[in-house]
Chains A and B, each alone.
Chain A
Amino acid sequence: MNYNVNEKGYYGEFGGAYIPEMLYPNVEELRQNYLKIMAEESFQKEFRALLKDYVGRPTPLYFAKRLSEKYNTKIYLKREDLCHTGAHKVNNTIGQILMAKRLGKTRIIAETGAGQHGVATATVCALMGLKCIVFMGEIDIERQAPNVARMKMLGAKVVPAISGSKTLKDATNEAIRDWINNPVDTHYIIGSVVGPHPYPDMVARFQSVISEEIKVQLKEKEGKENPNFVVACVGGGSNAAGAFYHYLDIPEVGIIAVEAAGKGIDSGESAATSALGKVGIIHGSKTLLMQTNDGQITEPYSISAGLDYPGVGPMHANLFRSGRGEFISITDDKAMQAGLELCKLEGIIPAIESSHALAIFENRKFKEEDVVVVNLSGRGDKDLDTYIKYFNL
């Protein structure tokens, strides 16, 4: 079985491009060109050089000794938190900005929730001297003031999304509307493995450098490329897609996706899409989606602003539906404890998104000889306020 995208843009029954005709030329232009451009030698050379010298790749694969001792299994952390700008998001924005330049685009738009993808997009726009407009929910702008300031310092214009629930999904709607209004000169840098085909595949390919490196690094450290398990948190699912990518079709590697249960799956305040979602269409993609019986998209909740997306990338929907991936949801409380534990045991302050993945060890048994790689997708600096409030620091 193949868990990657097919020629029609589907992962099993999920994916496709459910877009208004106004977006068809933009998306079609990208679809016809993205693989060709990515395969060009000059593209690869420039992409790889920037990942190395600008982002700081390869990121370390770190054996977490004290964490491993505590849980009596072998735990490695893939240190995406050490990427420039503080998370894996920049792998994708570097790739897409190079893509945009080759497509002759001069204006970049992006959506952002907590601001990480917005910062990563503003960063590469500054790097390339391109105009950057970031859509951000009005409520998120209030909640994430430091990231708003960062984007402004980097020269981006931050536009508040005042429609709907004024959060990530609405920021995405606004970015799509902007793209409809500016079809010729603009490229839309989507931040996750969501949206119409070819976005989920393109973003997954840019992020796949994560598992590409894990293979090489694990071979050095353990004498084998394949761990027993790869664990990653999933909101839209870009860090997970990158960490799983080169293991999708290797059945002996267990794939574990950790979703945000928020205050509990049945609490009405959750973002656990695999548990709560039904097949539906969001932002141009057929996927699992949290919605009412009447097909209205509902607002998810998580303490982590990077995981509260009502859908999930179509690749992940298919991993769930096919049984290839094991899906677990972790509450706010468990994630916060796991984050604090990593601070105390390993001296690493993780992003709250990544803390969800780390909470796997309190919630699932691994064998002593298992090699478990956790994708530490981001660092916790941006979450200090939330940590301070939660733990009364």
Chain B
Amino acid sequence: MSRIKEKLKQNKKLLSIYFTAGYPKLEDTVEILEQLEKSGVDMVEIGLPFSDPLADGPTIQASSQVALKNGMTTNHLFEQLKDVRKTVSIPLIIMGYFNPMLQYGVENFCKKCAEVGIDGLIIPDLPLAEYQEHYAETFKKYGLINIFLITPQTSEERIRQIDATSEGFIYMVSSASVTGSSEGFGEEQEKYFQRISSMELTNTLIVGFGIQDSKTYTQATSHTNGAIIGSAFIKMILEKGLYGISEFVSSIRKV
């Protein structure tokens, strides 16, 4: 059984962290992964940097640019991850935009993911219909789970469709926003979390976008099974470096 499904079966609120591969330093990737696992994080999204990240706010944009300047490439990331499964056992997901994967060759990309022990992919700009028509089989062949996003504007019909295609979890975008919004969650989000939760979908719900501290984490997970933190983690790394990881993770989980 896939590491993602195994993890989702554990009856607890999950904490997942996103970081940009190659940031702050090119060779930080594996060490960040190891520290995240040690700190008790349940799952990690490794960001494959892209020059034009449409769905991302300033923090992840900036980290992507630095990572690219540092020399991060698709090949180099796979090279770094070659032995990662010797030291890291939590589920690992690559999150990135479709163009770099298209250039690498989608089949080749999936094959490499399977070789190094990646469990799933999140590709914001690969639409559901394209995935089903052209890529679903390839993903399955290499045992990769594709994670889809839903937003407060996604229609119920489409959510059901996404639920039927997903296996694992659904990535619930918290609000109409790019990543890194720091406005916190209000009544509107609360209602949205409740509404989706009451749909009783087959797949687990994990919330992302706008989660930055223990308060927003608790709000996001009150009606769902977990939350993903990206921009806030990257900001922390910029300020405190890799030494800040364990403190950051415990600060999120403290109640």
B: contact size bracket: 35 or more
Binds A, one of B33-41, B152-160, B218-226: B152-160
Query: When A21-B124, A280-B99, A294-B73 are in contact, do A181 and B176 touch as well, CB less than 8 Å?
Result: yes
Which B residues lie within 8 Å of A281 (CB)? 97-99, 102, 125
Asked if B50 CB lies within 8 Å of chain A CBs, one says yes
Determine whether the beta carbon of B103 is less than 8 Å from that of A293. Answer: yes
Q: How far is the CB of A293 from chain B (nearest CB, A)?
A: 7
A183 beta carbon closer than 8 Å to chain B: yes
Task: List chain A residues, Cβ under 8 A from B103.
Answer: 278, 280, 291, 293-295
B61 touches A21 (CB 8 A): no
**Interface membership of A386, Cβ < 8 A:** no
B177 touches A20 (CB 8 A): no
User: Once the chains bind, are A22 and B102 in contact (CB under 8 Å)?
Assistant: no
A296 touches B51 (CB 8 A): yes
Question: Given known contacts A163-B61, A181-B176, A181-B178, is B99 in contact with A22 (CB within 8 Å)?
Answer: no
Whether A21 contacts B176 in the complex (CB less than 8 A), given A279-B102, A295-B103, A296-B68, comes out as no
Q: State the interface size on chain A (CB cutoff 8 A).
A: 36
Task: Verify A176–B54 contact, CB threshold 8 A.
Answer: yes
A228 and B104 CA atoms in complex are apart in Å by 42
C-alpha spacing A261/B150, complex, angstroms = 42
Residues of B within 8 A of A20 (CB): 54-55, 124-125, 149
Measured CB to CB, the closest approach of chain B to A281, in angstroms, equals 5
Per the 8 Å Cβ criterion, residues 8-26 of A in contact with B are: 16-22, 24-25
B29-55 residues at the A interface, CB under 8 angstroms: 50-55
Alpha-carbon separation in the docked complex, A254 to B232 (Å): 55
Q: Which among A170, A180, A182, A279 is the interface contact of B55 at CB below 8 angstroms?
A: A180
Mask of A286-306 contacts with B, CB within 8 angstroms, 1/0: 000101011111100000000
Query: Given A293-B103, A297-B99: A25 and B127 within 8 A (CB)?
Result: no
User: Does A25 lie within 8 Å of B99, measured CB to CB?
Assistant: no
Residue of A nearest to B97 (CB): A281
A284 beta carbon closer than 8 Å to chain B = yes
| Extra contacts besides A18-B130, A294-B73 (10): CB < 8 Å | A20-B54, A20-B125, A24-B127, A163-B61, A279-B102, A280-B99, A281-B99, A282-B99, A294-B74, A298-B51
Nearest 3 pairs of A and B residues by beta carbon:
A295-B103, A295-B100, A21-B149
Listed in ascending order, the chain B residues whose CB lies under 8 Å from chain A are 50-55, 57-58, 61, 65, 68, 73-75, 97-104, 124-127, 130, 148-151, 153-155, 158, 173, 176-178
Q: Which residues of A contact B (CB under 8 A)?
A: 16-22, 24-25, 163-164, 169-170, 173, 176-177, 180-184, 278-284, 289, 291, 293-298
